[in-house]
Amino acid sequence: MPDHPSSDVDGPGPARPAGESAAQEERLRRWRLILGAPAASVCHPARALSKRDADIDAALDALYDADGESGGGRSRRRRAGLGGSAPAVTRWLGDIRDYFPSSVVQVLQHDAVQRLGLARLLMEPELLAAAEPDVHLVGTLLSLRSALPERTRETARMVVRTVVEDIERRLAQSLRSAVFGALNRGERARTPRLPDVDWNRTILANLRNYQPEQRTVIVDRLIGYQRARRVAALRDVILLIDQSGSMASSVVYAGVLGASLASIRSLSTRLVVFDTSVVDLTDSLDDPVDVLFGVQLGGGTDIDRAVGYGASLVRRPADTVLILISDLIEGGDQSSLIARLRGLVDSGVTVVVLLALSDDGTPAYDHGLAATCAQLGAPAFACTPDRFPELLATALRREEVGRWAALHGLVPA
């Protein structure tokens, strides 16, 4: 809901009822916009909506139109009033971008696609150009990939690339720093290069040189780490990504992060997506957009087959991290899956099961299988993308990932 009072935009408006504070009026205004027209007599009995609030109300009505089911108020189950034409939806998308911040626009778009059957309209390039790019929109486009007409595909790739670049901008540097720190931790350098300086340790080591007058520390000793020799990969990372429809956001984040890992030459990164079949997308890792367009969201799930393929890629068990990204809703042979996971852990592979790699929270998952994985030594939990670099660094250092997850409150009950 917009933070500004309508009077800030539309002039003074009708006189405020006597004794009513500005804060109380703003609360009533917000409740009126949340609940819709049926709440007008309670929330604003003495005044009409301003012009801007009336426009906001109309935009919300278009998505959450009353149908009498809930007795008043905007239910996210209500039927839509956007109509069937792409121009009408394009105007609506433009309106909500004017009225709401980007985070709210993304929620409204997601509701519109899920509840109003607008997926077919995303095949119109004009509509895609008007939409706010976000992870959920990318997931929808990937699920429609095979049905996108030629005139829309280039626009769809532009939308996907915008989201990919945003994720890379937010996460790529922290991922690289975490990986370099984990791999190079044991090799101290007396004269490290500037990018390799450990500033926290350097400042601590030079605190005796603090100059009160200048309020600064004179650094006479730099502490850092040697860069890993780029002759051979120090660790192998295998990402197995469940591409069932419920994992859409996780697929997007995992694809982008996998491409970032592939650019680190001290790692050998393999990226595999699966449903009932297994597809190795490692050769596409130069371009994360190509990775994502190699995904086909939806279909069944055979985790056992995917883990079997992942096991075939293991060359150096003690130097391998295998991350299975799946809600563990197995459609294949669960007994065989458990046996494969046990074999990987017993061989020395660091196995981590991510029930989700997204900001959407922990999805529905098989609690029994997740508990079994943890007992085998393959901790299972959901992780947000911003936590992933630290998670991977913990695994690369061969530390206990389960303990790390518990310390951060990530292990599900």
Q: Which of 381, 305, 378 is nearest to 343 (CA)?
A: 378
In the chain, which segments carry CATH 3.40.50.410?
235-407
Confidence of residue 116 (pLDDT cuts 50, 70, 90): low
- Tokens for 22, please give them: 């500005």
244 CB-near residues (< 8 Å, 6+ apart): 275, 297, 298, 299, 300, 301, 327, 329
Confidence of residue 43 (pLDDT cuts 50, 70, 90): low
Residue given tokens 């309670």 in the structure block = 42
- The pLDDT tens digits for 69-95 are 444 455 544 344 444 444 455 566 667
Q: Which CATH number fits domain 235-407: 3.30.590.10, 3.40.309.10, 3.40.50.410, 3.40.109.10?
A: 3.40.50.410
Q: What is the pLDDT of residue 231?
A: 41
Q: What is the mean pLDDT of residues 136-150?
A: 77
What does the alpha-carbon distance between residue 400 and residue 413 come to, in Å, rounded to a whole number?
Answer: 19
Quick check: 93 and 109 in contact, CB under 8 A? yes
382 CB-near residues (< 8 Å, 6+ apart): 354, 355, 356, 357, 358, 361, 362, 363, 410, 412
Among residues of the chain, what percentage have pLDDT more than 70?
76
What does the alpha-carbon distance between residue 45 and residue 407 come to, in Å, rounded to a whole number?
Answer: 51
318 class by beta-carbon count within 10 Å (0-12 exposed, 13-18 middle, 19+ buried): exposed
What does the alpha-carbon distance between residue 234 and residue 215 come to, in Å, rounded to a whole number?
Answer: 42
Cα 142 vs. chain centroid, distance in angstroms? 15
Dihedral (Cα; 261, 325, 363, 341), 10-degree rounding: -150
Q: What is the mean pLDDT of residues 29-39?
A: 74
Q: What is the pLDDT of residue 274?
A: 94
Asked if pLDDT for residue 380 goes beyond 80, the answer is yes
- Tokens for 31, please give them: 């409740």
Quick check: 92 and 130 in contact, CB under 8 A? no
Q: What is the mean pLDDT of residues 386-394?
A: 94
Asked if pLDDT for residue 121 goes beyond 90, the answer is no
97, amino acid identity = R
Among residues of the chain, what percentage have pLDDT more than 90?
37
199 CB-near residues (< 8 Å, 6+ apart): none
Q: Tell if the pTM clears 0.85, that is, is over it.
A: no
Q: What is the pLDDT of residue 9?
A: 37
Q: What is the mean pLDDT of residues 122-129?
A: 76
> What is the DSSP code (8-state) at residue 101?
-
Residue given tokens 């799946």 in the structure block = 326
3 state DSSP class of 151: helix
> What is the DSSP code (8-state) at residue 408?
T
296, amino acid identity = Q
